[in-house]
A and B are shown apart, each in its own frame.
Chain A
């Protein structure tokens, strides 16, 4: 039981390049999330998927797209990376119910030059 896994752990891109961050969970959770963490800003929600087949925008969706490939996998794509997207990206999942907590992946540290 690996929990929530993310790949890659580190990535350096040049401005304008594209890439996809991968996330998978093996806990049979319904909801999955992508956050970005910047110094002094806490975690901000980019996109989320309440259930397989649905996706919704969070606080800071501009410049990103997502795909809920199946119940296990939720990917985040940067079509044309910008230096402002330099951040640590966390994927999380949630089984459901008010008392359930979110389980987080280890994070991806992305630098855009």
Chain B
């Protein structure tokens, strides 16, 4: 069964520094997609970045990058040059290729301080 694990309930980072949020996953399907979402205090779920299991390069979207290590089954989110507005909950999620279901981890609360 597919499973997503986020072991960091909370993280602190100083403004302008980089931070890595951890995500490990478990699946027996060779084809899958990994997603990261941001949930600010206002509550909406905002899509950040996607990584496919067959993608040769790590995904990047602006200040967000995904450190994808397939053999270790990890898909860590790296936020460079943190901003105060990055303070939020961050969720890792996975969907297997022939499934329409997205399975979420329990999330990491990131707090950026000045």
Residues of A participating in the B interface, judged by any CB pair closer than 8 Å: 31, 33, 35, 40-45, 48, 50, 58, 88, 90, 92, 94, 96, 98-99, 101-104, 106-107
Contact = CB atoms under 8 A, between A and B. Distances in A.
Counting chain B residues whose Cβ lies within 8 A of the other chain, the interface size class is 20 to 34
A99 B50 CA distance: 7
A42 B104 contact: yes
Interface stretch (B12-20, B75-83, B94-102): B94-102
Contact of A90 (B33, B45, B47, B50): B45
B106 A42 contact: yes
B33 A98 contact: yes
A90 B102 CA distance: 13
A66 B35 CA distance: 26
16 contacts: A31-B100, A33-B102, A40-B106, A42-B105, A43-B91, A45-B102, A48-B100, A58-B101, A90-B45, A92-B45, A94-B102, A98-B95, A99-B52, A104-B44, A106-B43, A106-B44
